[in-house]
Amino acid sequence: MLYVVGTQVGVHGIQIEFPFKGRTKTATYLPEVAREQSWTKTQALDSLLRKGGYTDVITEEFRSSCVSVTRYRSEKCVVSYQDYLRRLQQRTQ
């Protein structure tokens, strides 16, 4: 599958674009989604197709020829609510 090259589950987020019933559909998952669900790359792509509204049978041919995939990285930052409020107050002073 074309989209697999260089893509790592849990490291890369995936955004897809594909044609369906005369419209362009899109869907995306952050990097942690596939890892948290214990999905393979194929399972993640198929889930994205469903999320994007694709209701036909998913074939390897469709995955390889009709789906445009963009991979990306993101950062997840965690702060407590108290830290958030403190930083918010600092910005308004």
Q: Reduced to 3 states, what is the DSSP secondary structure of residue 1?
A: coil
* Structural domains of the chain, ranges and CATH numbers in brackets: 2-92 (3.30.1490)
Retrieve residue 85's tokens: 């409020």
pTM: 0.75
Residue 65, phi then psi, degrees to nearest 5: -110, -20
- N residues, the chain: 93
Cα torsion 6, 69, 27, 75 to 10°: value is: 40
Query: Residue 2: what pLDDT?
Result: 46
Instruction: Compute the average pLDDT of residues 69-87.
Output: 89
Instruction: Indicate the pLDDT class of residue 81, thresholds 50, 70 and 90.
Output: very high
Tens-place pLDDT, residues 10-60 = 788 889 999 999 999 999 999 889 889 998 888 999 999 999 999 999 999
8 against 91, higher pLDDT: 91
Q: Give the H or E element holding residue 64.
A: helix 60-66
Query: Residue 17: what pLDDT?
Result: 94
